[in-house]
Amino acid sequence: MKRLFPLLILLVFLFACGEQECEGDCDCVKKEIIATDQAPAAIGPYSQAVKVGNMLYLSGQLGMDPATGEFAEGGIEAQARQALNNQVAILKAAGFCLKDVVQCQVFVKNMDDYAVFNTVYKEFFKGDFPARAVLEVSRIPAGGLCEVMMVAVKETDCGHECGDCGHECGESGHECGESGHECGESEK
């Protein structure tokens, strides 16, 4: 019985403290839900992105056109480009840039599409690539060919907002920072 007593105390503590609801002035994580009509609406019980402090967690995006709700036509190349454009729209809605992305998780229906996906991916990320994983999966929601998730981190005392470098993020093939200074770097 003496051996079970510490275990019993631990279980009581876990059940009593682990399920507290956030009320009033507590130390709960402050999170901001990010949503934009420039990317497809969530097709399930999740948010397009959640911002916590200087971090942005982006849900997976499919290669769907937000205007039509249909997959981009043209196979994996078109769907990959559209999925990444959707993520750019969400990043922009949250005040982030592609240069803020530190991790991508990519799901493809067929690993034979890896090279084609990489070609499109390099249109968006040019050097100093984010950490990344690519996995072949048996099915992707709604019958898509790929899905892309991201995590982005913004420098907390950044001196420039996304787009201050003269280009909108992802617009015309430019990334924030391509006009002569890095996003967040002071103009000389």
Q: pLDDT tens string for the chain (188 positions)?
A: 555 444 444 444 444 444 445 565 666 789 999 999 999 998 889 999 999 999 999 999 999 999 999 999 999 999 999 999 999 999 999 999 999 999 999 999 999 999 999 999 999 999 899 999 999 999 999 999 999 999 999 986 555 555 554 444 444 344 444 433 344 333 33
Contacts of 147 (CB under 8 A, 6+ apart): 60, 61, 62, 83, 106, 107, 140, 141
**pLDDT at residue 165, rounded to an integer:** 45
Within a domain: 98: yes
Residue 22, domain member (yes or no): no
- How many structural domains compose the chain? 1
Has residue 152 been placed in a domain?
yes
Structure confidence by residue, pLDDT tens digits, 32-77: 999 999 999 988 899 999 999 999 999 999 999 999 999 999 999 9
- Range of 63's domain? 30-159
Question: Is residue 14 situated within a structural domain?
Answer: no
The CATH number of residue 108's host domain is 3.30.1330.40
Q: What is the pLDDT of residue 2?
A: 56
H or E element, residue 148: strand 146-153
Cα 40 → chain centroid? 14
Tokens 């390099």 sit at which residue? 122
- The predicted structure's pLDDT at residue 155: 82
138 located within any domain = yes
Amino acid 187: pLDDT: 36
In a domain, 166, yes or no: no
Residue whose tokens read 């290669």: 63
Q: Which residues of 77-104 are buried (b: 16+ CB within 10 A; e: fewer)?
A: bbbbbbbbbbbbbbbbbbebbbbbbeeb
Looking at the domain assignment, is residue 173 inside a domain? no
Asked whether residue 52 is assigned to any structural domain, the reply reads: yes
Q: What angle separates helix 114-124 from helix 75-93, to the nearest 10 degrees?
A: 30
Kindly report whether the global pTM for this prediction surpasses the value 0.85.
Answer: no
| H-run or E-run covering 115 | helix 114-124
What pLDDT shows up at residue 102?
A: 98
